[in-house]
Amino acid sequence: MRIVVLTGAGVSAESGVPTFRDADGLWEGHRVEDVATPEGYDADPGLVHAFYDARRAALADVAPNPAHLALGRLEAVLGHDLTIVTQNVDDLHERGGAHHVLHMHGELLSAWCRACGHRFRWEGTLADRPACPGCGVSELRPDIVWFGEMPYEMDRISAAIAEADLFVSIGTSGAVYPAAGFVIEARARGIRSLEINLEPSEGTHWFDEARHGKAGDLVPRWVDEVLGRL
């Protein structure tokens, strides 16, 4: 049984990480163009660094919830037959026990040097413009995929979908491509699909089955079903 799971902000909501498009969403008070585009960064790097430094620091105050832990349990049994693809830039899947996670939108705990191109695990701040551990130049930026930039791992994600028996989307509004199109790719290949989300996503009609409710309730239940059928 090969499974591809795509997660979005909704999987981390019960851990206290704000989602993007809900009422109290993260963008409130900030225009997307200011904090999530290369142009915004060039215009005001200090603002952008402060924004991501605050989000990175906030990771210390959150913990994985039952949905992350259930996916960790599933990976422990399925191993490489499970591919977790996340749009989230937090590290809650890893802390929930999953080790092979494709972060298609980058990671808060990573910094990318604009001078030498290398990436480094990064737990501190960037607003103080620290020197790159590789080349010494102070050109580190958050390793986050901004609007207008190419998401990471697209080849591995497409290959995993092509070989999957089941595609599951958890906690994502289906508003941002290419992730929102993975279900269409799965469908075109005749692969079954399941949506787990608080409410119907924008692409809910593409899924063979949809379950609506909290990820913290529904994901452990679904994982138990899968493990029970093995």
- Our CA angle for 55, 70, 142, nearest 5°, is 20
State the binding partner of 197 from ligand OAD, Zn ion, none, CB within 5 to 8 A by kind.
Answer: ligand OAD
Binding-site entries: 8-27, 52, 55, 87-90, 113, 116, 132, 135, 171-173, 197-199, 215
Greatest Cα-to-Cα distance within the chain, rounded to the nearest angstrom = 54
- Taking the least distance from each CB to Zn ion, the nearer of 34 and 139 is 139
Q: Which does 141 bind (CB under 5 to 8 A by kind): Zn ion, ligand OAD, none?
A: none
Q: CB of 21: closest distance to ligand OAD in angstroms? A: 4
Structure token digits, residue 180: 């929102």
Among 76, 116, 131, 154, binds Zn ion (CB under 5 A): 116
Using CB under 6 A as the binding rule, the residues of this chain from 191 to 220 that contact ligand OAD are 197-199, 201, 214-215
Nearer Cβ to ligand OAD, position 132 or 180? 180
173 lies in the site for ligand OAD, by CB under 6 A: yes
Q: Which does 105 bind (CB under 5 to 8 A by kind): Zn ion, ligand OAD, none?
A: ligand OAD
Contact 223, 73 (CB under 8 A): yes
Task: Report residue 169 as tokens.
Answer: 């989307």
Which of Zn ion, ligand OAD, none binds 135 (CB below 5-8 Å, type-dependent)? Zn ion
Backbone angles phi, psi at 223, to 5 degrees: -60, -40
Q: Which residue lies nearest ligand OAD, judged by its C-beta? A: 10
Least separation in angstroms between residue 65's CB and ligand OAD is 8
Binding of ligand OAD by 166 (CB under 6 A):
no
Give yes or no: 105 in active site: yes
169 lies in the site for ligand OAD, by CB under 6 A = no
Active site residues: 105
| Chain residues in the site for Zn ion (CB under 5 A) | 113, 115-116, 132, 134-135
Q: Which residues of the chain form contacts with ligand OAD (CB under 6 A)?
A: 8-10, 13-14, 19-22, 36, 87, 105, 145, 171-173, 175-176, 197-199, 201, 214-215
